Amino acid sequence: MSVAINEPVPDIELPATGDKALKLSDFRGQRLVLFFYPKASTSGCTQEGLDFTAAAADFAAANTAILGASRDGIKAQENFKTKQSFTFDLLSDKDEVLCKAFDVIKLKKMYGKESLGIERSTFLIDEQGTLIQEWRGVKVPGHVDEVLAAVRALG
C-alpha cells in the first residue's frame, strides 16, 4: 500500500546526512518537497540536486523544505552532499522502507538487462503531512521549476 494524494504520509525515520535521523513529521508546519533519485553522484541525480540547490532560497521563501532520498548508504550520501554543496539533507533508504511507502521501486531496463531501481519521483507534502502532489517518471530538465511553480501556486 503506497501513499495517495490527499492522504497523510507515513512517519518513517531514516538516517540522514549531517549525522542525523530524520522523520517526515520533523517538517510539520512547513511544506516538504521529497525527491527520490536513482543513485548518488550520477549525472542526472547530480543535476537534479544542483537544480534544487539553486532554487533553495525560493523554496524557503515559500515555507518549503527539500529532502532527497535514495537507496545509497549514508557515507555515499554524505560524500554526494558535500561534493555538490547541496543545501538540504539526503536520506539513506538502504532497506527501501520509504521507497516502498511511496512506490518508487520499479522494474527498469538498461542495456537489455532488467533490474529493480528507483523511478525518479518527487512528492509535495503539505504543512500537516498530507501528500498534495506527485511527479513520477521525472525528467530532470525543467523539473525543479515545475515543482517550484506548484509550491508558489499554493500561496
What positions carry a catalytic annotation?
45
8 A C-beta contact, residue 11 and residue 72: no
Residue type, 83: K
DSSP assignment letter at 130: B
Q: Please, which residues bridge with residue 34 across strands?
A: 67, 123
Buried b (16+ CB within 10 A) or exposed e, 58-74: ebeebebbbbbbbbbeb
Closest CA to 78 of 70, 67, 89: 89
Residues 6+ apart with CB under 8 A from 37: 44, 45, 48, 49, 68, 69, 70, 118, 120
